[in-house]
Structure 1
Amino acid sequence: MAAASVSRIEVGRDGPEGGNSAYLVAARAVVDPGPPTERAWQELHAGLERAGVAPASLEYVLVTHWHADHAGLAPRLAETADATLAMGAGDAALVADYARERERRLERDAAVMRRCGVPTAAVDSVIDGDPVSPMPDETPVERLADGDRVAGLEVVATPGHTLGHTAFAGDDFLLVGDAVLPTVTPNVGGSDTRTLREDRHKPRAASATNADESVVDRDPLGAFRGTLERLADRPERLLPGHGATVERGRIAEMLEHHRERSQRVLAALEDGEPTAAAKTPWAVARQLFGDLEGIHVKFGAGEATAHLQALEREGLVERVADGPVQYELVR
């Protein structure tokens, strides 16, 4: 039987997208408990108390994706409630093995930014400014797959924003995390650099240390478009990871946003002499977004790369160099 009741608890109001939305589902589970701050912890407890639910009565703590503003409190709540922490298999390692995976992520982020043509000083600034979340080095996490059922919810794979982003569907609602947001379009590419394809000449790995990283050739923008189209076909009302509601028409707006951005990427490559038109993703990002600082360096370079890779698959651009990567129009 599908879960029939859901209530929102606003936690962690300091993020760039506004307040996080934690959801209490049928008094059995909390989805996306929020960032790992004491203030968010108190807000979550207050919300549970208003609902008349004691943490000890929870059976599950569910997480849509690995970003700390959604997953940060999950280990603490699961331990307090003696509940099972569960999330999509593609993202689970970044919470289950936080300390080791954080180091791997920083190395990967730096390598991706360098490959995109980001200057060394900007790369160093992003990596040095990446905060350590107060999460356990290791924590038990149950891996979920598309179509599973947990706490009366259907598990719905929604990749794109992160490799293993997952939504949870109840009786008449769909908890979509950051897949669909009311006021911003979630970053694709830079928000999880695992989603980006590696260098053209790097051979496909015969094996990998993590099952969720066994595929080298990825298409984050294509995956995200597929996620939006899949969500558009579902009947449930959408409940986002930030804000209280999101209209279904927002999906069409986000698809159009990315169509327009791809056209701007093509225009950025067109803006140059034919003999000097090849550009790095970083150069394209600077034309799209202007000056970039802090985490937006990674987000901008990653999003430009995601669009360039998608355009390459469509035969509209080609990669002409790999160190750093450079693209030009197919003429």
Structure 2
Amino acid sequence: MRPAGTTERIAHTAASPEGENSTYVLPDRGVVVDPGPPGDASWEVLRSGLSAAGLPVERVETVVVTHWHADHAGLAPRLAAAADATLALHEADAPLVAAYAAERNRRLDRDARRLREWGVPDALVSELRDADEPSPMPHEYPVVTLTDGAAVGGIEVVHAPGHTAGHVVLDAGDALFLGDAVLPTYTPNVGGTDTRLTDALATYLDTLDRIRERAREADAQPVAFPGHGSSVELLDRIDAIRAHHTERVRTAVAELSDRDGDGVTPWAVARSLFGEMRGIHAKMGAGEAAAHLAFAADRGLAERVGVGPDRYVRGDARSFDGVDC
């Protein structure tokens, strides 16, 4: 695999809880990674950034998106159309851009069901749904679907699920484009950011292992480019993220009652962990708690009980030995 060559970063002002978005431009390959959030202001930032990077819009050949979230994919159809370029996402995330309008409705229904399963009150579920504004993206747009190990623009696609079902990391040999798989200061949410995933934390931890092994096996340490911020110390940050999740599993389990209790919902655990939440924060918090409780249940530290909203009690296992994330 030939080196990435020159890589230029275009910074978009904060469009999400993770902070400032990063678009990456590979002029030697005609590739743009994660064009950024939708809207005319972001479009002007992207256009001027591409020109400054030596890859004006009309010379873009390939637009690759690491995952379906609008702060990364929002400008992708607009850029691909303006450049007559290929737009590509992993096959699991591609429909949420290729059939945006239809998939948005399915996503809202799915999110509402999952939030109720987590014990989020109906009023908050309705409030969250009503506040979900549609992005100014085309209802449909042709997307090339990618699979693990495929090449796009001369870059290897590495399936990296957890934050979303179809998240990818892009391996250009001397550079890794991480999307939201590993971020420099913010721990990527798992559980609330894609409710299609049923074992989000375990899936994400497998992804971290895969990224770490890929970095360690490289002839030289690749430069790591995160989807938010400009740089990250990859191996150290992976260790820190894993330690964070280990502690969060312990904290979540500590909120549970013993077997003779009625059980505790993920929403109740989330409120203990994060306080009062509304809007998108309610979704992220409930999903985060649910992901950690499911992980604990798979290891005997918790047990799901009852019907209706998910409820958990303490499991038979009482030792955390061997369950480090």
- Structure 2 equivalent of residue 308 of structure 1: 293
Distance 1:277 1:324 in 2: 12
* Structure 2 alignment gaps of length 5 or more: 216-221, 317-325
Match of 1:87, SS?
strand
Conserved? CA contact 1:4–1:170, under 8 Å: no
- Structure 1 equivalent of residue 267 of structure 2: 282
Pairwise mapping of residues 49-60 of structure 1 onto structure 2 (< 5 A)? Answer: 49-60=51-62
Corresponding residue to 1:266 among 241, 247, 253: 253
Q: Report the Cα offset of residue 171 of structure 1.
A: 2.7
- Structure 2 equivalent of residue 9 of structure 1: 10
Q: Report the Cα offset of residue 13 of structure 1.
A: 3.2
- In structure 2, give the amino acid aligned to 1:227: T
Pairwise mapping of residues 1-331 of structure 1 onto structure 2 (< 5 A)? Answer: 1-2=1-2, 3-25=4-26, 26-196=28-198, 219-235=199-215, 236-248=222-234, 249-269=236-256, 272=257, 275-276=260-261, 278-331=263-316
Match of 2:271, SS?
helix
Distance 1:245 1:176 in 2: 10
Per-residue CA deviation, residues 199-250 of structure 1 (Å, 9 max, x unaligned), is: xxxxxxxxxxxxxxxxxxxx11011001111111223221100000011211
Superposed CA RMSD in Å reads 1.2
What TM-score, normalized to structure 1? 0.90
- In structure 1, give the amino acid aligned to 2:60: L
- In structure 1, give the amino acid aligned to 2:294: Q
Report the number of matched residues. Answer: 307
* Structure 1 alignment gaps of length 5 or more: 197-218
Q: Report the Cα offset of residue 280 of structure 1.
A: 0.8
Distance 2:69 2:13 in 1: 13
CA distance 1:317–1:30, shift in 2 (3 Å):
same
- In structure 2, give the amino acid aligned to 1:322: V
Conserved? CA contact 1:27–1:53, under 8 Å: no
- Structure 1 equivalent of residue 219 of structure 2: none
Per-residue CA deviation, residues 130-166 of structure 1 (Å, 9 max, x unaligned), is: 1110000000011101100110111011100000100
What TM-score, normalized to structure 2? 0.92
Distance 1:111 1:89 in 2: 24
% of aligned pairs identical?
A: 52
Distance 2:308 2:18 in 1: 34
CA distance 1:177–1:32, shift in 2 (3 Å):
same
Conserved? CA contact 2:271–2:277, under 8 Å: yes
- Structure 2 equivalent of residue 214 of structure 1: none
